Structure 1
């Protein structure tokens, strides 16, 4: 399966994301993702689609709390690759709260890093501002991802 199988669809990135979702959760307990099953370009689409949904659903705080935060570096790189520079800037600003701007890629360790900010008004206010900026949707991640799929028709979905 290749990106060309989706490129003519009305929402190719969404359809590709759904195909990737089936692949990464096939035979899973419902919580374990097997991202190694999808190719690097498909992984970019998958992670950025998840990122968009995660931040829209619960903000940057939710991103760092949930397992998707394990992949923050890939997400940041992917945002830059597709030209979502405003979103990349906002993510970089959110990362400043972590030691050396680098949250752990281990969820439980990241929770420990976030623990000092529980009920911290400055942290909550800063992330709320970043969320508000993200919700303006200046980058239109969905549109950028649709363009990415259409521009990479030869990319493989499976690893």
Structure 2
């Protein structure tokens, strides 16, 4: 078990969220509503400590947001180039929790492609040049396109999960 999968219930972070906001926000606005108050780590070490205080559902939104931010801004190549693979197991655990088999399968395909081309990534990371990867590893293009088709559905699954057990995410006030 990696450190991102530990949950210390005694120190669970449960922010207060207005019940009307919880009921009236949807999809990305809802996601940010439940993510923003727990998105408080300043660096990777803080994040390891913070992660222990997040419930499994909170981790699902927290780590999915990393994936989404990277892939929607620069594709899976950017996700891997920027070192976000360290969160892959936490992301996959969250996707399993919310029942998103489609994105799990896509992540497995992307990770296989990354591992097949890992030395190319390492070479480009050393010289801090991402552009050659986009030209050399074009199969990521199809995976990026598929991601765009799936990511809204993933956000809906996160919302459905949070609405089914709000006590895991917040105190409604």
TM-score, length of structure 1 as denominator length: 0.70
Pairwise CA distance, 1:30: 9.7
CA contact 2:35–2:62 (8 Å) conserved in 1: yes
Structure index of larger Rg: 2
Among residues 97, 104, 127, which one is paired with 1:81 in the alignment? 97
Please, which of 147, 151, 154 is the counterpart of residue 164 of structure 2? 151
Aligned to 2:25: 10
Q: Matches of 1:57 and 1:154 in 2, distance apart?
A: 32
Q: For 1:70 and 1:30, how far apart are their aligned partners in 2?
A: 11
Q: Note closer, same or farther for the CA distance 1:2–1:18 as it changes in structure 2 (3 Å cut).
A: closer
- String of CA shifts for 1:111-136, please: whole Å, max 9, x gaps: x6723587467862111110011112
Query: 1:19 matched to which residue of 2?
Result: 37
Question: Which whole-Å CA distance do the structure 1 matches of 2:84 and 2:16 have between them?
Answer: 23
Q: Which runs of 5+ in 1 are unaligned?
A: 104-109
Structure 1 residues 10, 88: closer, same or farther in 2, change over 3 A? same
CA distance in 1, matches of 2:36, 2:160: 17
Higher relative contact order, chain-length normalized (CA < 8 Å, sep 6+): 1
Q: Going by fraction, where is helix more abundant, 1 or 2?
A: 2
Q: Distance in 2 between matches of 1:3 and 1:137?
A: 30
Question: Which piece of structure 1 moves more, 59-68 or 113-122?
Answer: 113-122
Match of 2:4 in 1: none
Deviation of 1:41 (Å): 2.3
2: CA distance, partners of 1:120 / 1:30? 26
Structure 2 residue runs without a partner (length 5+): 1-13, 125-129
Distance (Å, rounded) in 2 between the aligned partners of 1:123 and 1:152: 44
Given the superposition, is the C-alpha separation of residues 153 and 121 from structure 1 closer, same or farther in structure 2, using an over 3 Å criterion?
closer
Q: TM-score, normalised by structure 2?
A: 0.65
Give aligned pairs, total: 144
8 Å Cα contact 2:76-2:144 kept in structure 1: yes
CA contact (8 A) 1:47 1:75 kept: yes
